[in-house]
Structure 1
């Protein structure tokens, strides 16, 4: 049995079904997923680090179609929005805009006891949400009950002055069962990785093709930071200007910008 060393240091059995299902989840048909799995399996040693396994999978997906290699990169791409949380807040505000929300980032709201900086205020019809974005820049970490309790405490104080405001916690990782149970009990909306099943973070992204620029495989840390710094956060932002204009705004080499745009076209 081949084994995988996770980021946390835990060693797990290599899960054939998990890999095949992850390929199907990004739109690959069953037969092709089986073929790609076999090619990957034949290349890996008896013990392999998760990052090295990921590189092999992406390499094989590139041979099939670049778009699938990038989609498989989505979770890591969101981590690359870090190391701090503000780019993730900007990114989720862009996702919300695609779903018809008006948003305000980093708004101060006065509660009964204290004033709070709120990551996002989201408005759609009669709905008014204060959104807390909990960003983790390392794999293997879950948002837990402590995060939910923090969100709840802030909301309770603010709600005394603004009873119409609803609470929403957004995180780029999974959330513990305990956290979910408490949030459901207290009517706190949650958007997390794999939760809720039909409106999870990755589903919201995939349904509207609102992929972050960090999903583009020809980029690097410098390129991503310069793009996000200048409000090129999602791939659609790259089509708002001519390549020459983006290069001038971001100080990124023109040929690199053109490569990024060509990659982005595979995801729209």
Structure 2
């Protein structure tokens, strides 16, 4: 049954509807949150109004947030591919798998953009045992030991065991380096979220925590939107198989693909589609601003 909405003097829908998140939890549908996400992607006001009208016509108690997302995404694709790609950011990050290594490489690229020298899968000697570090980033006196916790779907949290384990590894590495010049920092990064206990322990232990929306206004989604460093998996003009081929060749950033457009031929993209792909890349990569986050 479709839900018909009127609005009261505060602008809130009179017929409140609860929607179902991927985790199975329910929450009150927020018109404002959907509008904010569309604004952040760069959608025009008229398009946002059209999307909201369509969503309200399809809304019913218990509808999944995924269904709401698909409704908005499909309309955006028909209107503007690069805006749809920005709106597709979270799903694009989920596609940096299945192994999680592309996500680690992507994070290394984000640190490189901030002036760090970054490498993946570095073996470091600890005081007790050796450790494999997902990303090692250095800049001046700073050395960042980065652990990446990738999840391929939403609704998954990093619980307190994750920062507990990572903290012990960092301590072992730093103990081995005592008396040497670099200032070591432990960075724990996830593409989903941390549990309340994980945040409490990580902050108390002096770790730097970075998740999809933490810290406030400086989470992963904020960093990407402000720097314009979108992953190739956001693109709407490429098939999933073509995205996997790009990842296999080491391409994780859209701006790298824009600079190396001949790679489209290497992954067997037909000549007739390359113009549309390049147009999407240009629209996606032009939204770049300075944003210091590390």
TM-score (norm 1): 0.90
1:247 aligns with 2:265: yes
- Counterpart of 1:149 in structure 2 is 164
| Further displaced range: 125-134 or 32-41 | 32-41
**1:149-195 per-position Cα deviation (integer Å, ceiling 9, x unaligned):** 11101001111112432111111011122212212112111111111
Residues 1:30 and 1:167: Cα distance change in structure 2 (over 3 Å): same
- Counterpart of 2:54 in structure 1 is 39
Instruction: Give the Å deviation of 1:91.
Output: 0.7
- Counterpart of 2:34 in structure 1 is 19
**1:194-219 per-position Cα deviation (integer Å, ceiling 9, x unaligned):** 11123211121112110000100122
1:75 aligns with 2:90: yes
Q: Is this contact kept in 2: 1:173–1:192, CA < 8 A?
A: yes
Unmatched runs of 5 consecutive residues or more in structure 1 = none
Aligned to 1:7, the other structure's residue is in SS state: coil
**1:79-121 per-position Cα deviation (integer Å, ceiling 9, x unaligned):** 0111221000011111111111110110000000100110010
1:67 and 1:139 map into 2 onto residues whose CA distance is 23
**1:211-245 per-position Cα deviation (integer Å, ceiling 9, x unaligned):** 000100122221111001101211012122243x4
| Further displaced range: 217-226 or 109-118 | 217-226
- Counterpart of 2:190 in structure 1 is 171
Aligned to 1:48, the other structure's residue is in SS state: coil
The 5 A counterparts of 1:1-268 are: 1-28=16-43, 33-34=48-49, 36-163=51-178, 164-243=183-262, 245-248=263-266, 250-268=267-285
Q: Is this contact kept in 2: 1:39–1:60, CA < 8 A?
A: no
2:46 and 2:239 map into 1 onto residues whose CA distance is 33
Unmatched runs of 5 consecutive residues or more in structure 2 = 1-15, 286-294
**1:51-101 per-position Cα deviation (integer Å, ceiling 9, x unaligned):** 222111112333553332221110111001112210000111111111111
Tell which structure's C-alpha radius of gyration is larger: 2
1:33 and 1:257 map into 2 onto residues whose CA distance is 28
Aligned to 1:160, the other structure's residue is in SS state: helix
Q: Is this contact kept in 2: 1:84–1:137, CA < 8 A?
A: no
Q: Is this contact kept in 2: 1:77–1:214, CA < 8 A?
A: yes
Task: Say how many residue pairs are matched.
Answer: 266
TM-score (norm 2): 0.82
Instruction: Give the Å deviation of 1:31.
Output: 7.5
1:94 and 1:63 map into 2 onto residues whose CA distance is 31
**1:34-56 per-position Cα deviation (integer Å, ceiling 9, x unaligned):** 55323321234454333222111
